[in-house]
Amino acid sequence: MEQTVTEIAVRLVYQLAFILLASKLGGELCVRFLKIPSVLGELGAGILIGPFALGGVAMAGFGPIFPMPDAGAAGSTGIPISPELYSFSQAAAIVLLFTAGLDTNLKQFLKYAGPALLIATGGVLLPFFLGAWATVLFGFAQGFGDPRALFMGAVLTATSVGITARVLNDLRQLDSSEGVTVIAAAVVDDVLGILVLTVVVGISASGSVSLAQIGFIGAKALGFWVALTGAGILLSKPLSRLLESFRVPGAGISLSLALAFLAAGLAQSVGLAMIIGAYSIGLALSSTSLARKLQEQMAGVYHAYVPVFFVVMGMLVDISAVEGSLVFALVVTSLAIVGKLFGCGLPALATGFNFLGASRVGIGMLPRGEVALIIAGIGLAYGVIDADLFGVAILMTVATTFMSPILLVPLFRRGGSGRRREEVQAPENPS
């Protein structure tokens, strides 16, 4: 029976209540007892209360709190939660990356844009090759041109900046050389990932794809991001003065968030992830007088909304789907780790980072998160990969998403510069 709008709204309200409660309990457990980042508790809480676990169990007189969508909807999207809840989580992700942009040092970001391009390129090419090669080696594909091999390679190229941005923000390292490099590289990674996905989808649908099509899509995505970020930086000062001139309470934060949501929607319309548009607006405003006020005002919004994104991401995980391909899943997960560590870490060493800094960059680029799940969902929707390969992608996503914060936190807490030379400063002149 079709639900009314009121019934859908009531269910969403209940779901958000469960999510916020679970996120804080999971976060408290991790911070107080396990001494690990709270984001891991939020992800774990999502797995526990999601539709594949407790959330799929019917409650007396109510039914499952997180029911699976209709089979047709799930098959077409690959997302096992309601569109309403998923949409809310994406709005929370926009808040996360807008805040990350505000906390980023703009001069640092521009300074490391060049190294980020090289790091992102390595972080796409090596994982793609390793993923496709492993798929062929284990007999899941006939050769490197097989769409199944190409899709598994594409899944490994993804980088979800949301996890790393959260960890860097908690550690107050967003404006460090490694922090801004990882964020910038993740943006470029998103553009390169679009190109890879375009090629794979084109080959799977028609057997071929034209270079002109690839070039057009890549130029459109990259051009939009450069134009949006550039325009935001050029207009940031007058825009800041305009927003500060409003006398209505809360106008600054409301209108800034409106710009972030607008940019996110525009980014999605040209093929980029929504969070990239939100980050660009936050980055543009980061050097203005309004930024400090926004950072203080966004704190409450951040802690209330952002955990929803991570809990929902945990809900997408179905551990049981990988049972039949466990060995292959473990190999793919290992290659996913190696691909980012070396694909991003070696270019980082070549662009002035020392071993510590290169390790931070490589591990910062490790989590695949929702980006890999979306790519895998597209493959499932096109009928290119089956449930077993989709389960492999899920396990790889879960493992890399959980590992990144665990490894990244001690690397930053040990202190020390991540650069070979530039942090060494001459002593001040005593006169």
Domain holding 295: CATH number? 1.20.1530.20
Count structural domains, the chain.
2
Lowest mean pLDDT among 18-22, 69-73, 98-102: 69-73
Residue 203 lies in a domain: yes
Total residues found in the chain within this entry = 431
d(CA 46, CA 308) in angstroms, rounded, equals: 9
366 in the same domain as 223: yes
Lowest mean pLDDT among 168-177, 183-192, 324-333: 183-192
* Domain encompassing residue 346: 84-413
Residue 428 lies in a domain: no
Averaged pLDDT for residues 189-193: 76
60 in the same domain as 107: no
Residue 166 lies in a domain: yes
Residue 425 lies in a domain: no
121 in the same domain as 24: no
225 in the same domain as 147: yes
3-state SS assignment for residue 36: coil
Query: How many Cβ atoms are within 10 Å of 144's Cβ, its own excluded?
Result: 13
34 in the same domain as 171: no
pLDDT at 384: 81
395 in the same domain as 338: yes
Residue 24 lies in a domain: yes
147 in the same domain as 193: yes
Of 97 and 28, the one with more pLDDT:
28
Domain termination residue (choose one: 66, 96, 121): 66
101 in the same domain as 49: no
Residue 423 lies in a domain: no
pLDDT at 16: 97
Alpha carbon dihedral 279, 285, 287, 288, in 10-degree steps, equals -170
Of 46 and 192, the one with more pLDDT:
46
d(CA 312, CA 90) in angstroms, rounded, equals: 9
Helix (H), strand (E) at residue 85: helix 83-102
Crossing angle of helices 355-364 and 387-413, in 10° steps, is 140
**Amino acid identity, residue 301?**
V
Residue 422 lies in a domain: no
197 in the same domain as 52: no
pLDDT at 74 over 50: no
Contacts of 67 (CB under 8 A, 6+ apart): 51, 56, 82
Averaged pLDDT for residues 236-264: 94
- The overall average pLDDT reported for the chain is 86
Angle at 162 between CA 285 and CA 152, to 5 degrees: 135
Averaged pLDDT for residues 236-244: 93
pLDDT at 76: 45
Percent of the chain with pLDDT over 90: 45
**Amino acid identity, residue 44?**
G
Total-model pTM: 0.81
Angle at 318 between CA 314 and CA 322, to 5 degrees: 130
